[in-house]
A and B are shown apart, each in its own frame.
Chain A
């Protein structure tokens, strides 16, 4: 017996599929999902799992400038997913190695929960962001491994940046395994709370935010933070900012 796929010519779901990416109108084999639909979900899950366990190769980021590589205290991906606390602190030797180089804004390219997202989105966003920030002094690009969002606080404080922007891979979903978030923290220092950051999320090429749009909105937020002298809830503008999404990396 062949698998029961809906007849597309007569399938009433065809028009509805344009309304949502949800997996509606799937085929059935008895009670169960049709085999092709089971495998489609497995394929998407496998891609997401690969993204979670991928490591960031900075030599393939095609960054326009030299960069400094640092690691968190989480030694590998297995420990990293279990111990968010270790991912928020720099390895001691890397903390000491960071130069004190005061600047207006410091960009950190971080793997987070998807190194794939950092590799695909961060260089483009970084280039567009630099162009959107005339007159701002930009610190050396930092590439951070096994990094959580709050790692940027320690990095920013060490370097002496007025503001740090974490460009970090989001927890992969099935529809996008390479989605990037930007977290902006004014006056970074260890112990900053999530409510003191602003976030732009869903930066990816499958219907998400484009690199140029992300850079535009980031520049707007940075100017707002500079005016206020702080970031976070105080810098709220519904048209421009996003809430911290569930599954913050």
Chain B
């Protein structure tokens, strides 16, 4: 279908939905790299005019990546629920944007339409929204998940404790783990990115995390973020695997470049559920995504990077994950150039993920070749918390010494909690109280380094 708009006396033509979405997208380096970005700011706004007038129904008739070429497209079509779509079926994208922001539309109204949404609809409406709109709508959505504690409740902010070490040294990891627990981090997950993809190393780390969790009776879950096939192998060997991790993207070809398929995700999901290790819930999957992933795998099909990102969420939601996060600044300036682009992308990803029904978190981060610094991260973490983000990732001092990038620090999580009066998951907060890590005002005690006795003993 061809789309047109006339702006300031000039008539613009967009050959198909894929092109229209790309031209309407806020400026970012990844779309410039693949040549799909608007030629200038006027064309971008013209594309938004045209997009605002597109009926939502049109998204059910035109795929941005052909059905025959991509199992993600097929998944979206197969899972689409016409009854959920009915309340918004008569709207254009522009009308839908205003509807989402209206007072009448609350948590229940948004939950009711989730299964009627396609990733392209959600991506489209985000392109018609300012940052404040992305926050205002996202904060109406609540996605609650559970394993050994409950994530996503109102007034709560989870954190992933990420104690990475460049050589996977178990004691080095334990030291970073202790630091994070003493600062109240880790209710979303104790999650290690291993430096190698060795299954033996993964086994050592999974056992270590589980042993520490049991010794201090910590109501949280652990995860070694290795390839899904390694996790399956560890499950087969009897390892205490809580969560199955996998990076995913929005096209079949990109997922193939990650060595993952929908069938493999199904298999791992079943394997982890069969272990029945959760105490208060059965959400066992953990996914990471990020704009640019499909481009770096050369699997973008001329689709803009944000739409591709939302397609990854359509994959994620099929597995009822405990946690999903975008690693928003990790992939580098060729996809998100500076702090402005990273902040915008972080808010988009969170909004789109929540609208798609995902327990959305974020790794607020940047690399040293991006035009960004800790001030940009401060801005994004506070904006995401205002938007009701489920969880944020934190590392010692904000410096990940294995992956060589800057994320948030454990201390930053304390700041966010203080600013908004939020607390970690209730089960985990009770544990912090039990271990005398909190003072009477729900603040972390300043000097509690001995609160977990024997932690570093052999």
Contacts and interface: CB of A to CB of B under 8 A. Distances in A.
A binds B: yes
Interface of A: 4, 12-13, 15-17, 19-26, 28, 30-33, 37, 41-42, 44-45, 48-49, 51-52, 81-85, 113, 171-175, 177, 243, 246-247
7 contacts: A15-B456, A22-B179, A24-B179, A41-B374, A84-B334, A171-B404, A247-B367
B109 interface: no
A42 B377 CA distance: 13
A247 B165 contact: no
A81 B397 contact: no
Contacts of A37: 397
B368 A172 contact: yes
The 5 closest A-B pairs by CB, nearest first: A23-B397, A173-B404, A20-B172, A31-B414, A48-B368
Contacts of A44: 399
Contact of B175 (A22, A41, A85, A246): A22
Contact of B397 (A12, A41, A83, A113): A41
A46 to B, nearest CB: 9
B403 interface: yes
Interface residues of B, number: 50
B399 A12 contact: no
A52 B368 CA distance: 8
Contacts of A81: 332-334, 369-370
Interface string B89-100: 000000000000
Interface string B318-337: 00000000000000111001
A247 B332 contact: yes
A24 B411 contact: no
B398 A16 contact: no
Given A25-B449, A31-B418, A173-B404, A19 B397 contact: no
Interface string B405-420: 1100101001101100
Contacts of A174: 368, 399, 401, 404, 406
A173 to B, nearest CB: 3
Contacts of A171: 332, 367-369, 404
A13 to B, nearest CB: 7
B176 interface: yes
Of B169, B196, B367, B444, most buried by chain A (CB within 10 Å of CB) is B367
B280 interface: no
Given A82-B29, A82-B337, A20 B175 contact: yes
A161 to B, nearest CB: 26
Of A21, A44, A45, A173, most buried by chain B (CB within 10 Å of CB) is A173
A33 B396 CA distance: 11
Of A49, A52, A174, most buried by chain B (CB within 10 Å of CB) is A174
Contacts of A173: 368, 401, 404-405
Of A22, A32, A49, most buried by chain B (CB within 10 Å of CB) is A22
Contacts of B401: 20-22, 173-175
Nearest to B171: A19
Given A26-B397, A82-B29, A173-B401, A19 B415 contact: no
Contacts of A22: 163-165, 172, 175-176, 179, 395-397, 399, 401
Contacts of A42: 374
A37 B397 CA distance: 8
Contact of B415 (A12, A21, A31): A31
A180 to B, nearest CB: 14
B450 interface: yes
Given A22-B163, A24-B178, A33-B411, 19 more contacts: A4-B446, A15-B456, A19-B169, A19-B174, A19-B175, A20-B175, A21-B401, A22-B401, A26-B397, A31-B418, A41-B397, A44-B399, A82-B32, A84-B33, A172-B404, A173-B401, A173-B404, A174-B406, A247-B367
Given A82-B333, A84-B334, A23 B449 contact: no
Contact of B411 (A28, A51, A177): A28
B403 to A, nearest CB: 6
A20 B418 contact: no
A26 B410 CA distance: 10
B404 A16 contact: no
Given A20-B172, A41-B397, A45-B373, A28 B446 contact: yes
Contacts of B302: none
B160 to A, nearest CB: 15
B197 interface: yes
B426 interface: no
A45 B334 CA distance: 19
B55 interface: no
B449 A13 contact: yes
Given A28-B411, A82-B29, A243 B197 contact: yes
